[in-house]
Amino acid sequence: WRELGDLYRREGRPGKAVACYDRYLAAVPGDEAARAVDTALREARGMPPLAVGLAEEADPRDEDGTGGLRPGVEFWGALCGLAASPADVDRFYGGGAALPGPGPGASLGLAGGLGLDYAFEGGFMFGLGAYGIARAYAYPSAAGTDRYAVDHAAAFLEPGWRLRLSRRFVLEPRLGLGGMESYIAASQDSTGQRWRSQGTGYALWPELRGEVLLDDWGHVGVGASLGYLYGFPEGEVVTSSSDAAAVGSPWSYTDPAGNARSWSALTQGLTFGVFLAYRALPMFW
């Protein structure tokens, strides 16, 4: 507390300096040099001298209306489930016709991510997140199984707001804005054909995170998240195929009316997951 008080005094933040000196003097009342500094700061702020052995109720972690949040960098890792609709794969596989789908549970995808956030003292935060997203589908056919694997590499800018609800619980609404690169592999036993494609797109990911802090200062926390991923794909280009003539061309399908349609991977849906966060500096003052 003495070192924090000295730091705040040098930075010209007397309110926080006084709160730190008060706590230090409550533990070390015989430090007359620190008491003289504290008294001078108090007089400049129109406050009476601190009584020996006592500390004011003011706490630097709660002063100035910041909720006690300390600016700093944090690192996190997340694992999420994605309740993505298989409608895009159904559309390609069925030529635009409605299909019963690949079966119960097959539309659940997985996403894993690592990120870096910077939190400001007032509660605003800004982060960068990198994710890998995967989903897979299988359609039985007379000749075997037709399989589709839809994978994404995604990067997001993630502004948000941190709300301290209690000593050990923090709520973080955040919004991911970024791009998703898609990589699709298809193998059809029914036709003997194989494809791979690559595409680009954009994504919007509003998310709410709730974090439980594992220590009093907020160095480490675990939490859960709930959100919805919106995808905006821009089409797929075939990168390899058992039909060499198709390489480099847009991935397309023929609809029931006989028209050629460009196909893209529309990965979106409800997300839910868990995460672990670490901060080099405490979250709270």
Can you give the pLDDT at residue 174? 97
Q: Check whether 165 has a pLDDT greater than 80.
A: yes
Residue type, 134: A
Instruction: State the residue for tokens 């991977």.
Output: 265
**Mean pLDDT across 127-143:** 88
Can you give the pLDDT at residue 242? 82
271 in Cβ contact with 81 (< 8 Å): yes
| Residue 217 pLDDT class (50, 70, 90 cuts) | low
**Mean pLDDT across 228-235:** 90
Can you give the pLDDT at residue 160? 96
| Residue 67 pLDDT class (50, 70, 90 cuts) | very low
**Mean pLDDT across 117-142:** 89
Q: Check whether 40 has a pLDDT greater than 60.
A: yes
Can you give the pLDDT at residue 155? 97
The whole-model pTM stands at: 0.72
Q: Average per-residue pLDDT in the chain?
A: 83
Is pLDDT larger for residue 42 or for residue 158? Answer: 158
- Per cent of the chain over pLDDT 90 is 34
Is pLDDT larger for residue 187 or for residue 103? Answer: 187
Give dist(CA 216, CA 26) in Å, integer.
20
**Mean pLDDT across 8-29:** 84
Q: Check whether 232 has a pLDDT greater than 60.
A: yes
CB atoms within 10 A of CB 16: 22
Q: Is 22 exposed, middle or buried (0-12, 13-18, 19+ CB in 10 A)?
A: buried
Can you give the pLDDT at residue 27? 83
Q: Which two tokens stand for residue 190?
A: 């029914």
Is pLDDT larger for residue 26 or for residue 261? Answer: 26
Can you give the pLDDT at residue 53? 55
- Per cent of the chain over pLDDT 70 is 86
Can you give the pLDDT at residue 79? 97
Crossing angle between the packed helical segments 32-44 and 2-10, to the nearest 10 degrees: 40
Can you give the pLDDT at residue 66? 38
H-run or E-run covering 39:
helix 32-44
| Residue 103 pLDDT class (50, 70, 90 cuts) | very low
Can you give the pLDDT at residue 117? 95
